[in-house]
Amino acid sequence: MADDESESDLFVSSREPPPRALTQVSPMVRRLVAPNASPFTFNGTCTYIVGQDKVAIIDPGPDDDLHLSALLAAVEGEQVETILITHTHRDHSVGARKLRAATGAQVVGAAPFTPRGNGAAGLDSAHDRDYSPDTILADGERWQRAGFTIEAIATPGHCSNHLCFALLEENALFSGDHVMGWSTSIVAPPDGSMRAYMDSLDKLRGRPETIYWPGHGGPVLEPQRYLRALIHHRRQREASILNALAAGSQTIPALVARIYVGLNPALTRAAGLSTLAHLEDLAERGMVVGEAAASGEQRFRLA
Ligand SMILES: [Zn+2]
C-alpha cells in the first residue's frame, strides 16, 4: 500500500507500471501482476516466481481466481514448493489459501497479524486474519531450496510483521511494501510505526543487494541512493510538520491540507495516517504533545 503518489517523483524511472503479463525479469525470477489496481496498489500486486522446475512464489496477491489461474498456468509442469509471504495485508497474502490448496506448497514467511485493541484502527482492517503459515521466518533466517536461497530480513514499519526477502544468488531483494519505486510506503498506526519504518530503512543501508523487486511497481535500480532519498524525504516531512506546529496547535486534517499539496483525494485518509505516524514518533521523542480539544478532535502542539 502506498502513501502519496504525488511524491513519487523521487525516482522517475521506477514510476512506469510494469506489464501485467508474465515477464521473465531476471534469470531466476518471473513476475505476474495481479489485476487489483487502485490508488494504493498502483497497477496491482506483483507476484514473483523464483527458480525453475521447483519454484517459490512470493506474495500470491489478493483472492482473485483469474490471477490464480494465470499463476498456475505460468508454472505448469513445475512444482510449487513454497509460497513466501512478505506481510499479511490482504492484497499480498490472501491468495496463498487457494494456491496452497491447488499446489500443496508450504506457506512460509511473515508471522500472522496480531491486532492491538479491537484491530479496527488505522489500516489494521486491511490485514488477512485467516493467514496461517506453515513456517514463520525470523530475521536472518535462510530458506534454502534447489537452486536458490532466500534470506528473511525483518523490516517492520509499514506493518509490524513485514519481511523483505533477499535472493542471494542474484544479489536481489524482494522489498514488499517496505521500499517501492512508484510511491513512498504508507505507515499507519497502530500496527505501522514510523520509528520502526525508519530503522528498517536504515537496516537496508549497506546491504549488498543491487536491485529491489517491490510488491507494487517496477524494480528499484539504485537501491542505496533511493534509500537515502526516502530517509531524506521523511526527515523533510517531519520538518514540515514541526514547522506547521510552530504556528500553533493543529488537527491532522489541517496538517494534511498544508503538507500534502496536490494529493489525490482518495489518499487523504492514508496521508492522515502517515501524519499520525510522524506525530506519534515525535511525541515519543518528547517533541510534540497530543491533546483532545473540547470538540473531541485530537490536536497536536510542540512540546
Ligand atoms: Zn501492505
In this predicted model, what pLDDT tens digit does every residue of 150-166 receive, in sequence order?
A: 999 999 999 999 999 99
pLDDT score for 259: 92
pLDDT band, very low/low/confident/very high, at 134 (cuts 50, 70, 90): very high
Specify the range with the lowest mean pLDDT, choosing from 5-19, 96-110, 231-245: 5-19
CA of 262 to the centre of ligand 1 (A): 23
CA of 215 to the centre of ligand 1 (A): 8
Indicate if the pLDDT at residue 4 is higher than 70.
no
CA of 87 to the centre of ligand 1 (A): 7
Q: What does the mean pLDDT of the chain come to?
A: 92
CA of 91 to the centre of ligand 1 (A): 7
CA of 159 to the centre of ligand 1 (A): 7
Pairing mode of beta strands 288-292, 298-302: antiparallel
Indicate if the pLDDT at residue 15 is higher than 50.
yes
CA of 247 to the centre of ligand 1 (A): 34
Indicate if the pLDDT at residue 144 is higher than 90.
yes
User: What number is the average pLDDT over the span 231-246?
Assistant: 96
Grid coordinates of 11: 525516482
CA of 41 to the centre of ligand 1 (A): 9
CA of 61 to the centre of ligand 1 (A): 11
CA of 207 to the centre of ligand 1 (A): 22
User: What number is the average pLDDT over the span 66-90?
Assistant: 98
CA of 271 to the centre of ligand 1 (A): 15
CA of 228 to the centre of ligand 1 (A): 21
49 membership: H or E segment, kind and range? strand 46-50
User: What number is the average pLDDT over the span 58-63?
Assistant: 98
The answer to whether the Cα torsion of 16, 18, 23, 26 is positive or negative is positive
d(CA 291, CA 210): 45
In three-state form (DSSP H/G/I as H, E/B as E, the rest C), the secondary structure along the chain is CECCHHHHHHCHHHHCCCCCCCEEEECCEEEEECCCCECCCECCEEEEEECCCEEEEECCCCCCHHHHHHHHHHCCCCEEEEEEECCCEHHHHCCHHHHHHHHCCEEEECCCCCCCCCCCCCCHHHECCCCCCCEECCCCCEEEECCEEEEEEECCCCCCCCEEEEEHHHCEEEEECCCCCCCCECCCCCCCCHHHHHHHHHHHCCCCCCEEEECECCCECCHHHHHHHHHHHHHHHHHHHHHHHHCCCEEHHHHHHHHCCCCCHHHHHHHHHHHHHHHHHHHHCCCEEEEECCCCCEEEEEC
CA of 2 to the centre of ligand 1 (A): 8
**62-74 pLDDT, tens digit each:** 999 999 999 999 9
CA of 162 to the centre of ligand 1 (A): 8
pLDDT band, very low/low/confident/very high, at 115 (cuts 50, 70, 90): confident
pLDDT band, very low/low/confident/very high, at 7 (cuts 50, 70, 90): very low
Indicate if the pLDDT at residue 205 is higher than 90.
yes
CA of 194 to the centre of ligand 1 (A): 14
Indicate if the pLDDT at residue 10 is higher than 80.
no
CA of 27 to the centre of ligand 1 (A): 27
Indicate if the pLDDT at residue 170 is higher than 60.
yes
pLDDT score for 51: 97
